[in-house]
């Protein structure tokens, strides 16, 4: 689990400082690094899971700041709250809710982070609209996610294994960026992009799920994996005049 987290952008210090059980070894990047968080800011994590990124963000914003994690599963909320208690994180709270209908007030947060979660939503445009709503004027969106360079076979799109692996819910890269643009964000850009290593497919749960579910040969799985990339995206809510 630690090695997986290191490969997607987390360092040893970050991995050692969070409460045990907060790091589930999931995601496709480190959005906290992207966000350039500052002391005293309010941060919102979409799909916060067990709280890993929230706890990292909490150290960046300090006691004067606040971090809010939103997750749709009561089990994860309970786990994250327990982790917060164990780590004595007084500036972190977790709210049960959907990222399509955020339980957060308008114009409330300075920055939004998310790690390989938005692609799982069936209504990504609404997610970006909600993100725009809750951000303050000049607020930042900083997310890591999985997108497609080309369409996947229908059989893969319908695979539960692929869905859990952030694959079947992924959309074309330009469509993803277009959704952020349409929500009203400015300066939308990709600041990093990477693909899965082909020689690592045998250890990748998504690739293994595809192969086992559909009997897809190794070379064909490689073709599918090459169609998927991890991107690091940022955007800014325009400042009001």
Q: Are 142 and 34 in contact (CB under 8 A)?
A: yes
- Which CATH number covers residue 183? 3.40.50.150
Q: Which two tokens stand for residue 169?
A: 């819910």
In this structure, how many other beta carbons lie within 10 angstroms of the beta carbon of residue 172?
A: 14
Q: Per residue in 22-73, pLDDT tens?
A: 444 444 555 555 558 999 999 999 999 989 889 999 989 999 999 999 999 9
> In 3D, which of 239, 232, 1 has the Cα closest to residue 118?
232
Q: Is residue 203 part of a domain?
A: no
pTM for the predicted model, two decimal places: 0.80
Q: Is residue 210 part of a domain?
A: no
Quick one: 11 exposed, middle or buried, by C-beta within 10 A (0-12, 13-18, 19+)? exposed
First to last CA, the chain: 46
Q: Is residue 201 part of a domain?
A: no
Q: Are 23 and 52 in contact (CB under 8 A)?
A: yes
Q: Which two tokens stand for residue 163?
A: 């869905």
pLDDT above 70 for 205: no
Q: Is residue 167 part of a domain?
A: no
Q: Is residue 157 part of a domain?
A: no
E strands, the chain, are: 42-46, 66-71, 92-96, 109-115, 135-148, 186-195, 228-236
Q: Per residue in 130-168, pLDDT tens?
A: 999 999 999 999 998 989 998 877 766 666 566 555 666
CA 234 to chain centre: 12
Q: Is residue 211 part of a domain?
A: no
Structural domain total, the chain: 1
Per DSSP, what are the bridge partners of residue 148? 172, 228
d(CA 128, CA 132): 6
Q: Tell me which residue has tokens 């290593």.
A: 197
The order of strands in the sheet holding 66-71 is: 92-96, 66-71, 42-46, 109-115, 135-148, 228-236, 186-195
Confidence (pLDDT) at 76: 93
Q: Give the confidence band of 1 by pLDDT, cuts at 50, 70, 90.
A: very low
> In 3D, which of 218, 230, 221 has the Cα closest to residue 152?
221
Treating both helix axes as pointing N-terminal to C-terminal, what angle do 218-226 and 205-214 enclose, rounded to 10 degrees?
Answer: 130
3-state secondary structure of 137: strand
d(CA 122, CA 112): 19
DSSP 159: -
Give residue 60's domain range. 2-145+172-193+230-236
- CA angle, 53 then 164 then 57, to 5°: 5
Confidence (pLDDT) at 226: 77
DSSP 35: H
Q: Per residue in 59-74, pLDDT tens?
A: 899 999 999 999 999 9
Q: Is residue 179 part of a domain?
A: yes
d(CA 66, CA 95): 13
For 18, half-sphere exposure in the C-beta direction (CA atoms, 13 angstrom radius) is 26
More confident residue, 81 or 22: 81
Q: Is residue 220 part of a domain?
A: no
């Amino acid at each position: 689990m630690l090695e997986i987290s290191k490969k997607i952008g987390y360092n040893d210090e970050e991995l050692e400082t969070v409460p045990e059980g907060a790091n589930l070894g999931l995601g496709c990047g480190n959005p906290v690094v992207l966000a350039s968080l500052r002391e005293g800011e309010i941060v919102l994590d979409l799909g916060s899971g067990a709280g890993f990124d929230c706890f990292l963000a909490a150290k960046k914003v300090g006691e004067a700041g606040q971090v809010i994690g939103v997750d749709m599963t009561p089990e994860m909320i309970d786990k994250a709250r327990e982790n917060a208690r164990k780590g004595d994180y007084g500036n972190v709270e977790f709210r049960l809710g959907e990222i399509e209908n955020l339980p957060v007030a308008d114009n409330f947060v300075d920055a939004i982070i998310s790690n390989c979660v938005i692609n799982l939503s069936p209504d990504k445009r609404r997610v970006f609209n909600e993100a725009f709503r809750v951000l303050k004027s000049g607020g930042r969106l900083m997310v890591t996610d999985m997108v497609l360079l080309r369409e996947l076979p229908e059989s893969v799109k319908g695979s539960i294994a692929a869905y859990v692996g952030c694959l079947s819910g992924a959309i074309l890269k330009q469509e993803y960026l277009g959704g952020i643009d349409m929500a009203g964000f400015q300066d939308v850009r990709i600041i990093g992009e990477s693909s899965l290593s082909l020689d690592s497919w045998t250890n990748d749960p998504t690739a293994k799920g595809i192969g086992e579910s559909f009997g897809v040969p190794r070379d064909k799985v490689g073709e599918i994996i090459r169609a998927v990339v991890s991107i690091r995206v940022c955007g800014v809510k325009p400042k009001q005049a």
